Amino acid sequence: MKFTYYGHSCFAVEIKGKRILFDPFITYNELAKSVDVNSIVADYIFVSHGHDDHVADLVNLARRTKATVVGSYELVTWAGKQGIEKTHPMNTGGKWPFEFGTVKCVVAHHSSGMPDGSYGGNPLGFIFITEAGNFYYSGDTALTFDMELVPRFAQLDFAVLPIGDNFTMGIEDAIIASEFIECKRIIGVHYDTFGYIKIDKEKAQQAFAEAGLELLLPDINSSIEL
């Protein structure tokens, strides 16, 4: 599966010829200046929650690409009011068979207000179960025992977890999360973008390695094969 990192918690995967983008926040990310937001293509945009650092580029990208926006009922209702025509509402615990595979929504312990102050519904994590592989994107979340359910739903090939601390899990908690979800290959996101979430990348990778885990930190605007 091709995985492209656009900085912060924004990434894309390609499955069965469909391009799936997550949590678009590029234009206002000082670290993502190399990314041309106007050249990004997407068939689907999955949004974990309503905070600015996950939706800042959502409306423009969805309008231009005509991608289907998937997120909580409240979030996609908000997106609809911004003129986005193709949306798919979901909520915690629900799953749906999309054309590229099945997605199950799971608990994320966080908050979710939209940029205009309206309620964003529950923050979500997503488990993707596909012929090209299975992965979990936790969204912004604390470490939670709910993650122990993840292996019951899917054997993961990789997981995308926040590691920046302050707003979400930090490195220590993400290592425990990796044990809960029974996954040894982790892609770290939600770090370095702002002052509160700057990390020492080498130390982070060392801590994961000492726990028998692999922490991948792809360069912004680069792709890796998973």
The footprint of Ni ion on residues 31-60 (CB under 5 A) is 51
Of 8 and 51, which CB lies nearer to Ni ion in the complex structure?
51
CB 57 within 8 A of CB 76: no
The helix or strand, by DSSP H or E, that contains position 152, with its residue range, turns out to be helix 150-153
Of 58 and 129, which CB lies nearer to Ni ion in the complex structure?
58
Measured CA to CA in angstroms, residue 159 lies from 53, 101, 133 at distances of: 20, 16, 11
Least Å distance, CB 85 to Mn ion, is 26
List CB contacts of 83: < 8 A, sequence separation 6 or more.
59, 63
Of 154 and 171, which CB lies nearer to Mn ion in the complex structure?
171
Least Å distance, CB 124 to Ni ion, is 11
165 binds Mn ion (CB under 5 A): no
R_g (Cα) of the chain, nearest Å: 16
10, 20, 53, 215: which one contacts Mn ion (CB under 5 A)?
Answer: 53
Of 74 and 140, which CB lies nearer to Ni ion in the complex structure?
140
The helix or strand, by DSSP H or E, that contains position 107, with its residue range, turns out to be strand 101-107
Say which DSSP state 96 is in: E
43, 57, 140, 192: which one contacts Mn ion (CB under 5 A)?
Answer: 140
List CB contacts of 9: < 8 A, sequence separation 6 or more.
22, 23, 25, 48, 53, 54, 139, 140, 160, 162, 189, 190
Least Å distance, CB 39 to Mn ion, is 24
Q: Which stretch binds Mn ion (CB under 5 A): 119-127, 136-144, 152-160, 214-222?
A: 136-144
Least Å distance, CB 10 to Ni ion, is 13
140 binds Ni ion (CB under 5 A): yes
Measured CA to CA in angstroms, residue 141 lies from 124, 188, 225 at distances of: 9, 13, 26
Q: Which stretch binds Mn ion (CB under 5 A): 52-60, 116-124, 126-134, 208-216?
A: 52-60
Q: Which stretch binds Mn ion (CB under 5 A): 34-42, 122-130, 135-143, 192-200?
A: 135-143
Q: Which does 109 bind (CB under 5 to 8 A by kind): Ni ion, Mn ion, none?
A: none
The residue whose two tokens read 């302050």 is 166
Least Å distance, CB 205 to Ni ion, is 24
Bridge partners of 72, per DSSP, are 90
Contact positions toward Ni ion, by CB under 5 A? 51, 140
Contact positions toward Mn ion, by CB under 5 A? 51, 53, 140
